[in-house]
């Protein structure tokens, strides 16, 4: 009986060793590969879902791009490629005259260049009723060129007759033909 007990113990040990070899050699590596495959599948599913969500945002982004492009086009159209300052300043003086503003002065200052853009400061001065000065500024916005108003000073005359003296510093722009140059 002792031999049978030993044989059973040996068989049990061999079965245990074979089970351990199977678990350590086959099952665990296969299981870790299966876990890696599952994790990769989840990542791919997440990437696909993110792509689908981004795809839904595409029309919104296209609309935003189109509206921004329209703003850029409008901005670009307000900055001319030619300097043509003389006729532009005479149009400003004509607007002053049209609104019955007395003593119109429209004088350019020294140009300032930055990259492909040149800025020309303009000093403007006139006198008239506040309503006419206000209309003058309103008409400046209808010109085909951008004007940035930097400073406006309004002063009543000393007799308080309703006449306002306006002094304004503005800037107009044009695209430089030469390369970058800064003054």
Condensed to tens digits (0 to 9), the pLDDT of residues 85-125 reads 788 888 888 999 999 999 889 888 888 887 777 888 999 99
Beta bridge partners of 149: 170
Do residues 106 and 152 share a domain? Answer: yes
Residue 113 lies in a domain: yes
Whether residue 180 is predicted with pLDDT greater than 70 in this model: the reply is no
**Which of 77, 105, 124 marks a domain boundary?**
77
Looking at the chain, the whole-number percentage of residues with pLDDT higher than 90 is 26
Q: Are residues 64 and 21 part of one domain?
A: yes
116 and 167, same domain (yes or no): yes
Distance CA 140, CA 159 (A): 29
Full domain range(s) for residue 23: 1-77
Q: How much is the pLDDT for 182?
A: 42
DSSP H helices, 78-172, are: 85-98, 130-140
Residue 135: pLDDT above 90?
A: yes
Per-residue confidence (pLDDT) for residue 42, from 0 to 100: 92
Is residue 120 in some structural domain? Answer: yes
Map tokens 């002065």 to a residue: 105
Does some domain include residue 68? yes
Give the chain's end-to-end CA distance (angstroms, integer).
112
Sequence-separated (6 or more) residues with CB below 8 Å from residue 175: 79, 80, 81, 116, 117, 118
pTM for this prediction: 0.55
Q: Is residue 53 over pLDDT 50?
A: yes
Residue 114 β-bridge partners: 117
Q: Which of 77, 108, 127 is the last residue of a domain?
A: 77
pLDDT computed for residue 134 by the predictor: 92
Question: What is the number of structural domains in the chain?
Answer: 2
Strands 102-108 and 117-129: antiparallel
pLDDT above 80 for 48: yes
Residues 69 and 96 in one domain: no
Residue 155: inside a domain:
yes
- Band (pLDDT 50/70/90 cuts) for residue 80 is low
pLDDT at res. 126: 93
In this predicted structure, what is the pLDDT of residue 1? 58
Do 62 and 118 lie in one domain? The reply is no
| Mean per-residue pLDDT over the chain, rounded | 82
CA dihedral over 176, 178, 179, 183, signed as positive or negative: negative
Point out the domain boundary residue: 77, 97, 123: 77
Residue 115 backbone zone (phi > 0: left; psi -120 to 50: alpha; other: beta): left
Is the same domain home to 94 and 167?
yes
103 belongs to a structural domain: yes
Name the pLDDT band for 79 (thresholds 50, 70, 90).
low
Distance of alpha carbon 19 from alpha carbon 14, whole angstroms: 8
Q: Is the pLDDT of residue 83 over 70?
A: no
Lowest mean pLDDT segment, chosen from 69-78, 141-150, 160-169: 69-78
Q: How far is CA 15 from CA 12, 19, 22, 29, 82, in A?
A: 5, 6, 10, 20, 95
Q: What secondary structure letter does DSSP report for 153?
A: E
Note the pLDDT of residue 2. Answer: 67
């Amino acid at each position: 009986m002792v031999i049978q007990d030993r044989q059973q113990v040996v068989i049990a040990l061999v079965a245990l060793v074979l089970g351990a070899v199977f678990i350590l050699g086959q099952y665990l590596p296969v299981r870790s590969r299966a876990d890696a495959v599952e994790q990769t599948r989840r990542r791919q599913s997440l990437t696909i879902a993110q792509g689908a969500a981004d795809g839904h945002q595409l029309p919104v982004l296209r609309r935003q791009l189109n509206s921004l492009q329209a703003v850029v086009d409008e901005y670009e159209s307000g900055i001319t490629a030619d300097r043509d300052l003389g006729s532009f300043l005479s149009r400003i003086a004509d607007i002053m005259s049209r609104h019955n503003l007395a003593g119109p002065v429209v004088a350019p200052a020294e140009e300032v260049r930055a990259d492909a853009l040149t800025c020309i400061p303009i000093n403007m001065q006139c006198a008239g009723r506040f309503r006419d000065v206000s209309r003058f500024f309103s008409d400046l916005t209808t010109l085909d060129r951008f004007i940035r108003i930097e400073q406006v000073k309004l002063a009543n005359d000393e007799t308080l007759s309703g006449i306002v003296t306006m002094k304004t510093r503005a800037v107009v722009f044009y695209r430089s033909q030469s390369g970058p140059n800064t003054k």
